Homo-oligomer: A and B are copies of this chain.
Amino acid sequence: MMRIGIVDTTFARFDMGRAAIDELMTHATDIKAVRRTVPGVKDLPVACKLLIEREGCEMVMALGMPGPEPIDKMCAHEASTGLIQTQLMTNTHIIEVFVHADEAESQEELAKLAEKRTREHAYNVFLLLKHPERLTEMAGTGQRQGWKDEGPLGKGDLKRAKGKGVGKVGQDAAKHGSAEAKTATAVDGVVHRG
């Protein structure tokens, strides 16, 4: 059994931990989720570190919903900095999933975003652990977790049209299953010459 850490917060307004665990379970039967909950995002880094060093987790998801004020943005920044530092200290990936309170206008929309982003990043965790080559197949394809993917650069200007609620559901197995077909730019994990 691979152990995956899941850390979320009581500050968040959506049960991101449950969504993460549920999604992970959809993709793998040999994963054990170890869950912890802390008060806020600034408590995430050390909680992740403890899951890695004391609970033997091979990867961790750090889940949070920073508030909309400047002070909340600063907290998120401090947390993110700490999460990167934690990864470097442990040589372990921590996938951060932050949903900012000002990313949506209604509570329903924010909840939906939180669920989608969490699920899509749980799938990323699955890929990083089990099928890293599939991520390379998706390199440069403008993946967006929670929103509609932007896709690889094509023609036209760069005005960003956030695909709010445009039918991108994390549970959509079809999408995940067909990830390989998404791009023709695949390059082997290891390339050499000479």
Contact = CB atoms under 8 A, between A and B. Distances in A.
A155 B112 CA distance: 12
Given A29-B193, A42-B84, A37 B139 contact: yes
B17 A160 contact: no
Interface residues of A, number: 106
Given A10-B141, A85-B85, A91-B46, A156 B37 contact: no
Given A34-B189, A39-B95, A16 B107 contact: no
A96 to B, nearest CB: 6
Interface in A2-61: 8-18, 21, 25, 28-39, 42-43, 45-47, 49-50, 53-54
A64 to B, nearest CB: 10
Contact of A153 (B13, B49, B68): B13
Contacts of A83: 42
Interface string A63-95: 000011101011101111111111111011111
Interface of A: 1, 8-18, 21, 25, 28-39, 42-43, 45-47, 49-50, 53-54, 67-69, 71, 73-75, 77-89, 91-96, 100-102, 104-108, 110-111, 114, 121, 124, 128, 132, 135-136, 138-145, 150-158, 160, 183, 185, 187-194
